């Protein structure tokens, strides 16, 4: 798990991760035992409904925001027996700043 501390690292991670908006096929219907390590120091169940799925990437990667305001990019591996690997994680505030930087028009009306 890579802890991103700096806005440039986050921007780099976002562009390398090929994030897409979640879609109709986005499902986190996994067993309760499937947890990922989060930057907030906790482990969260991938199927936890309190998580916000911010984005997805092919094939089974999810960008979660947990209630402790940490963003984690998680890769679910395996078919019959899944494991969740956290690729990177950062504070939600830093993530937001990176998004604002990447898409400067997003906040302008
Ligand atoms: Zn967390």
> Where are the domains positioned within the chain?
2-102
Ligand 1 mean position to 40 CA, how many Å? Answer: 4
Please check the confidence at residue 85 and state whether its pLDDT lies above 90. yes
pTM of the model: 0.88
Range of weakest confidence among 54-63, 83-92, 96-105: 96-105
Ligand 1 mean position to 44 CA, how many Å? Answer: 6
Ligand 1 mean position to 83 CA, how many Å? Answer: 17
Please check the confidence at residue 106 and state whether its pLDDT lies above 60. no
Ligand 1 mean position to 26 CA, how many Å? Answer: 20
Ligand 1 mean position to 109 CA, how many Å? Answer: 31
Q: Is the peptide bond before 31 cis (omega within 30 degrees of 0)?
A: no
Torsions phi, psi for 88 (to 5 deg): -150, 165
Place of tokens 């979660």: 64
62 burial level (CB within 10 Å; 0-12, 13-18, 19+): buried
């Amino acid at each position: 798990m890579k802890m991103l501390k700096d806005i440039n690292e986050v921007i780099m991670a976002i562009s390398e991760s090929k994030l897409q908006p979640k879609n109709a096929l986005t499902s986190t219907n996994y067993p309760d035992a499937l947890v990922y390590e989060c930057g907030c120091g906790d482990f969260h169940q991938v199927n936890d409904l309190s998580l916000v799925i911010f984005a997805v990437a092919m094939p089974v990667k999810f960008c979660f925001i947990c209630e402790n305001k940490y963003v984690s990019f998680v890769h679910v591996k395996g078919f019959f027996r899944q494991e969740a690997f956290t690729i990177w994680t950062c504070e939600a505030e830093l993530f937001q700043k990176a998004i604002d930087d990447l898409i400067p028009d997003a906040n302008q009306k």
